[in-house]
Amino acid sequence: MNKTIFSAMMLVAVTGNAMTITGDYIVYECPYCGAKAHEAELGSYNTFGATFWSDFFRIAPMAPSQDVVSRCWKCKKAFCKWSAKSTTVSREFITSNRMDNPYITWTGDYLAVKEVLVAEMRKADPDDELDLRMRLLWAANHKDRKAFVEQRSDKKITEKEVPAAERRENLQRLSSMTNMPPMLKVEILREMGNFKEAKAVLTAFKKAHPEEYKECEKKFKKLEAQIEAKNSKVFVW
């Protein structure tokens, strides 16, 4: 389930295509106290009014949050949704059973749920690891999108800053992973300040896959401009 969701998110990030919600809900059970919470199942989602960043992070007001780690509304403990017991139910079920908590929630503070993410990463396969590491990268990059977010919406980024060494280590591991879209690979190298390598990967991709490059040409060009400017900070597409 998670992999499909992440691939879908990747696709949206790269192509900007809008998607839709399935109409079903996933009910999660807290592994500590058994309290249930639910969220809309992400077959796809509405990206109306969404903002996309170069690290594939997005804020989409019409889309469910889809955080991997949730904090139980009842016992307040954090747990990974992938490892929690879950069932898919219809919208009618949610309405007729009057679910205690409308939506599964997370404060979005990476440092507060770090242990859960690290434990999950240990048992993850490469695709799941990529997914989890992307969450860490997003959290680490929030400091650079804070002003933008707070200026344009009522949302606040309350996340504590991820230590630079931790961000660096994560980027290094990400740069050695092969299971990601080329655009993300270029972005990771750029964020590491490896501008030469980032440019080389971009150029090689353009040469080897001209059609795919053409499809996302605007984004690739923006990325290239940032590489040329030797800017390693995250930016809005």
Q: Which residues bind Zn ion (CB under 5 A)?
A: 30, 32-33, 35, 72, 74-75
Least Cβ distance, residue 26 to Zn ion (angstroms): 16
Least Cβ distance, residue 117 to Zn ion (angstroms): 18
For Zn ion, the closer CB: 32 or 82: 32
Query: Under a CB-based contact definition with an 8 Å cutoff, are residues 143 and 114 in contact?
Result: no
CA distance 11 to 47: 12
For Zn ion, the closer CB: 31 or 181: 31
Least Cβ distance, residue 82 to Zn ion (angstroms): 16
122: left (phi over 0), alpha (psi -120 to 50) or beta: alpha
For Zn ion, the closer CB: 32 or 93: 32
For Zn ion, the closer CB: 100 or 169: 100
For Zn ion, the closer CB: 72 or 188: 72
Least Cβ distance, residue 81 to Zn ion (angstroms): 13
Least Cβ distance, residue 29 to Zn ion (angstroms): 9
